[in-house]
Amino acid sequence: MAAFGSSTQAIPDTGEVPRHVAIIMDGNGRWARKRFLPRVAGHKRGVEVLRRVIQACVERGIEYLTVFAFSSENWRRPTEEVSFLMNLFVSALTEEVARLHENGIRLKIVGDLSRFEPRLRELIAEGERTTAGNGRLTLTIAANYGGRWDILQACNRLARALPEKCGEWSESDLTPFLAMAHAPEPDLFIRTGGEQRISNFMIWQLAYAELYFTDRLWPEFDARTLDAAIASYRRRERRFGRTSEQLQGGDAGALPEAAATQTQDA
């Protein structure tokens, strides 16, 4: 059932350009504050930046872009900021879906959508439906998303789907139920805004991602910053548990026979 392998089970194919880039777009509030603007001005600017970054990803042949727009913890912010963000989400979907569709982009939203207003939920469903057949780039927006929420909802759905195997579930039983089942695991993770933490983003899928942190605030992010992150990614040696010598010698470093049989995709 799983469309994509797991980096802890098999060694994924990696290329010059990351196939999947995941970004925590952080620093909007600080960007605005530096300019004596209300924090929300930073969020507004952040949407414009995202539009340009999507374009840059398409131009570079990146197949999947996943961005963290609103975390399950962001409800703790002042009510006015939360409602501004919700309205911004509505207006961005209203204005951008047609453009995404014209550019061959498939839109996916992941997160616990049950807490959103019906109007927003409708726009999300409509946006996903309209763009479902596109294949140039898959843009996933994580909204009211939390990595722990995702793992738990996947476990609960698996428990209902496969109760007879309870106690013996494997990674490949679980992964189809994760919210990101439509995408391979991220190759490159970027966080803007200077913090060096994951903040409950894709904690399952980031197991073997290359991490890149920049002090640049999200509203200042551009194609050049993206290229710097990709250049850094290219310099990394992705070992997936193997030794450097194995990689140099072209040894795939396959799992021993017995282990391989146990962990192969069911």
Chain residues that interact with ligand IPE, rule: CB under 6 A? 24-30, 68-71, 74, 85, 193, 195, 197, 199
Q: Give Cα separations from 216 to 66, 122, 221 (angstroms).
A: 19, 34, 6
Contact call for residues 94 and 120 (beta carbons, < 8 A): no
CB 170 within 8 A of CB 266: yes
Residue 214 CA: distances (Å) to CA of 26, 43, 170? 10, 18, 36
Q: Which is nearer to ligand IPE, 113 or 247 (CB)?
A: 113
Q: How far is the CB of 82 from Mg ion (least distance, A)?
A: 14
- State the Cα–Cα distance between residues 239 and 247, nearest whole angstrom: 7
Q: Does the active-site annotation cover 26? A: yes
CB of residue 20 vs ligand IPE: minimum separation in angstroms? 18
Q: Which of 5, 26, 67, 158 binds Mg ion (CB under 5 A)?
A: 26
| CB 98 within 8 Å of CB 104 | no
- Separation CA 170–CA 233 (nearest Å): 30
* Residue 152: burial class (beta carbons within 10 Å; 0-12, 13-18, 19+): exposed
3-state secondary structure of 26: coil
Which range touches Mg ion (CB under 5 A), out of 18-26, 115-123, 203-211, 255-263? 18-26
Nearer to ligand IPE, 59 or 222 (CB): 222
Write down the catalytic residue from 13, 26, 103, 150: 26
Q: Among this protein's residues, is 74 annotated catalytic? A: yes
> According to CB under 5 A, which residues from 158 to 177 bind Mg ion?
none
User: Which C-beta is closer to ligand IPE: that of 79 or that of 262?
Assistant: 79
The residue among 88 and 255 lying less far from ligand IPE, judged by its C-beta, is: 88
Q: Which of 13, 28, 74, 87 is catalytic?
A: 74
* Pick 38 or 176: Cβ nearer ligand IPE: 38
Q: Is 192 in the site for Mg ion (CB under 5 A)?
A: no
* Cα dihedral across residues 99, 114, 117, 83: positive or negative: negative
**Which residue, judged by CB position, is nearest to ligand IPE in the bound state?**
29
* Helices and strands (DSSP H and E) totals, the chain: 9, 6
Shortest CB 29 distance to ligand IPE, Å: 3
Q: How far apart are CA 250 and CA 23, in angstroms?
A: 31
70 binding partner (options ligand IPE, Mg ion, none; Cβ < 5 to 8 Å by kind): ligand IPE
Q: Which residue is nearest to Mg ion (CB)?
A: 26
> Please, what is the minimum distance in Å from the beta carbon of residue 247 to ligand IPE?
33
By CB under 5 A, name the binding residues for Mg ion: 26
Which residues form the catalytic set? 26, 74
